[in-house]
């Protein structure tokens, strides 16, 4: 028997009465697409989290989460100076 043979039950979350999920997934996806588009339109763009937050009009905490997600997905890279750049730009500089 391997781990692949073990079948789990679907996870069901119980929310308390009156709980409101304030996340707007469609808005977040649109924001992520906009951030990627900004870096694609300006290949030389290199922003810190604080700069990106101001430039994009997004609060700093949310901006940091999105930039880090884009870094993990390979769309962006974070330089040693903690600046976010397009992934291709950093790869070209290193080679």
Q: What are phi and psi of 13, to 5 degrees?
A: -100, 135
Q: What is the pLDDT of residues 49-79, one digit of tens each?
A: 999 999 989 899 999 999 999 999 999 999 9
The whole-chain average pLDDT of the chain stands at 80
| pTM listed for this prediction | 0.68
Whole-number pLDDT of residue 43: 86
Helix (H) or strand (E) holding 14: none
Taking the domains of the chain in order of start, what are their residue ranges? 25-94
Which two tokens mark 44? 């030389």
Residue 5: Cβ-neighbour burial (10 angstroms; 0-12, 13-18, 19+): exposed
More confident site: 55 or 92: 55
Q: Do residues 86 and 77 make contact, with C-beta atoms less than 8 angstroms apart?
A: yes
Which two tokens mark 2? 């391997």
Residue 89 and residue 91: Cα distance in Å, rounded? 5
CATH architecture label of 25-94: Orthogonal Bundle (1.10)
């Amino acid at each position: 028997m391997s781990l692949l043979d073990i079948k789990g039950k679907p996870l069901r979350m119980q929310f308390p009465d009156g709980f409101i999920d304030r996340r707007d997934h469609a808005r977040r996806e649109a924001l992520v697409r906009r951030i990627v588009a900004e870096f694609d339109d300006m290949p030389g763009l290199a922003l810190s989290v604080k700069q990106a937050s101001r430039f994009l009009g997004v609060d700093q905490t949310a901006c940091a989460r999105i930039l880090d997600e884009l870094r993990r997905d390979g769309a962006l890279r974070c330089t040693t100076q903690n600046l976010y750049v397009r992934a291709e730009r950093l790869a070209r500089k290193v080679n």
